[in-house]
Structure 1
């Protein structure tokens, strides 16, 4: 099965740092007005996905959720979680005090990859 989600080594370094401080984490990516499409990192349970939001995979066993409407737009794409220096538009995410911001790079799946994608989990 083809994974929908991966992570860069640089982002993993920050995730390890956040795990030490906060424990279990979760990620949520929305298309809202405050955070744009910047993925947000919270302590597990610090954000509650809405009905029909999509969990597209795990990073270090931490769930990565995508807003239901945003997922419909990006469902044909592979997500790669990365980290950048500087504070993003939202500032609600746990990496903000570190002067960093998570970012996702997208790559469209090939026709062959689309036929073998791992399933998403929907919040009910």
Structure 2
């Protein structure tokens, strides 16, 4: 991820009022995580799985603040139960930024099923 893109993401998050970023690191967004950690206006919470991140982001919303969940697109499957219960069950939004893997020509064979 280019430095300009990292800066644009952080600028956009701040403009949107995001004060908490929860994330499960992946290699495609690896430059974003240290920049989020270093920003004094955004509290970062690394998680052990995507569902945990969704639950934390939902809790942040209930506290009256805004959060973002940052993860790889394959994590969407792992977070589905949490996202469904929060969004469909309780009307709690979870904003996500996801890297994309799995397009045709993907160099990592294991990522192809995630995108197709």
Give the TM-score category using the shorter length: under 0.3
TM-score when scaled to structure 2?
0.25
Higher relative contact order (CA 8 A, sep 6+): 1
